[in-house]
Structure 1
Amino acid sequence: MMKYNIQKFGFDFYPRCWQLEISHLIFADDLFLLSAGTKLSMIVFKHTMEDFEAISGLRSNLQKCNLFAVSNTNGLYQEFFVFSGINKAIHPVTYLGVPLLSSKLGNRDCNVLVDKMVKRLKSWANKKLSYRGRL
């Protein structure tokens, strides 16, 4: 649907995505929409989401949606927050516990994720191992 609407209405790709014409990425039940942040792109996104809802009967939970703006040179993002009902994301944006950065991730960037994993492993070990095994 996104590809069809891009061809039908036009679209302003994010500068690093235009050569490959990447407008969206999907992972499991998560959807990333990528654009240059122009009014046209925002209208195409909104129109596509409305079409998807009408056809599938599924609705996006806008309370769980976030918009991350790389720059706000023309004030369109504020207009889009009102237009779409999507919340503004606070930098750094995290996905699955890892911050989304344009630079290489360092050890400190992953500490939160590592701490969660260690905590979960300890909890699992305490539940599944015998007293002697825990000792």
Structure 2
Amino acid sequence: MECFSELVKMYIAKGEFDFHPKYKEIDLVNLRFANDLFILCGATEVSLKLIRRALRMFCDLSGLHMNSSKSFCYFVGVSQVEEKKLCEILRISASSLPVKYLGIPLTTRQLKASDCRMLVEKIKHKIKGWGSKHLSYAGRVVLINFVIFGVCNYWCQTVFLPISTIKEIENIVKAYL
């Protein structure tokens, strides 16, 4: 990924690359997490063509390829027509905010209950699959403590869950017990 950063820096030095407006002051172009990459730029045709060229050069140098089916563009303040045109440049589809990373919505604001629907649905799905006819009360408690609260703790390490979501999860767990 260092060569990608160097290529983008070269485009910046030439004045060909447009920063994302919120990150120009700190020269932020990309964020890396394990094997994931967030590329931040202004929503211009020139910038996206430069990114596509940098990704192609990175691919040629490293042999690593971007998985287009797992890659997305996120736009703010861009018309749908422009959004479609810009997505075609990178040959990846658009998605909507908030961005989900490892299953958790990333946002700068506190989550709403609607942002946590997938967590509640995931818990319901897990409990539905367990059934309760063949498990003792103690067995159900162990599953709840390790699986359900494990998933909740994973989310809580990153974001604050709304009280309404916590209460909904508690009600689901009580009904299962």
TM-score (norm 2): 0.59
Range moving further from structure 2, 10-19 or 109-118: 109-118
Which one has a larger percent helix, Structure 1 or Structure 2? Answer: 2
**Correspondences of 1:87-126 after superposition (within 5 Å):** 87-113=93-119, 116=122
Pair 1:59–1:30, CA change in 2 (3 A): same
- 2:57 matched to which residue of 1? 51
* Whole-angstrom distance in 2 between the partners of 1:72 and 1:23: 19
Aligned length: 131
Query: Structure 1 pair 116/132, CA: closer, same or farther in 2 (3 Å)?
Result: closer
Cα distance 1:39–1:27, how it changes in 2: closer, same or farther (>3 A)? same
Indicate the percent of aligned positions where both proteins have the same amino acid.
27
Q: 2:8 maps to what in 1?
A: 6
How far apart in 1 are the matches of 2:127 and 2:25? 43
**Change in 2 beyond 3 A, CA 1:47/1:131:** same
Q: CA deviation at 1:123?
A: 7.8
Unmatched segments (≥5 aa) in structure 2:
141-177
- In the alignment, which residue of structure 2 is the partner of 1:83? 89
Partner of 2:146: none
- What is the match of residue 35 of structure 2? 29
Counterpart code for 2:116: C
The alignment's TM-score, normalised by the length of structure 1, stands at: 0.74
Larger radius of gyration: 2
SS in 2 for 1:17: coil
1:134 aligns with 2:139: yes
CA distance in 2, matches of 1:44, 1:86: 15
Q: 1-side partners of 2:80 and 2:67: how far apart?
A: 27
Q: Which runs of 4+ in 1 moved over 6 A?
A: 121-124
RMSD over equivalenced CA pairs, Å? 3.0
